[in-house]
Amino acid sequence: MTTDPVCGARLEEEQVDFKAEYDRQTYYFCSEECKQKFLREPTKYLA
Ligand SMILES: [Zn+2]
């Protein structure tokens, strides 16, 4: 299990279609919208 850093949704890595690499880590998102928000301001969500 992993957590969407934008909205806090709990996700199964294998079932996630929305992924982004940042600072050599892979992050998983529940939707394209969350992924785009993260990519716009990654530091805001990793703080
Ligand atoms: Zn989300």
Whole-number pLDDT of residue 13: 94
User: What mean pLDDT is predicted for residues 7-12?
Assistant: 97
In a domain, 37, yes or no: yes
Pairing type for strands 10-11 and 18-22 reads unpaired
- β strands within the chain, DSSP E: 2-3, 10-11, 18-22, 25-29
Expressed in angstroms and rounded, the spacing between residue 11 Cα and the centre of ligand 1 is 9
Find the DSSP H helices in the chain: 32-40, 42-46
pLDDT for residue 43 = 96
Instruction: Specify if 8 maps to a domain.
Output: yes
30 located within any domain: yes
Residue range of the domain that includes 28: 2-42
The CA 43 to ligand 1 mean position distance, Å, reads 16
Read off the pLDDT of residues 15-39 as tens digits, 9 standing for 90 and up: 999 999 999 999 999 999 999 999 9
Q: Is residue 15 part of a domain?
A: yes
User: Does the residue 17 lie in any domain?
Assistant: yes
Number of domains present in the structure of the chain: 1
Q: Cβ–Cβ contacts within 10 Å for residue 15, how many?
A: 7
Whole-prediction pTM value? 0.90
CA angle 8, 14, 17 (to 5 degrees): 70
Query: Does residue 47 lie within any of the structural domains?
Result: no
Residue 25 lies in a domain: yes
pLDDT of 27 reads 97
Q: Predicted confidence band at 47 (pLDDT cuts at 50, 70, 90)?
A: confident
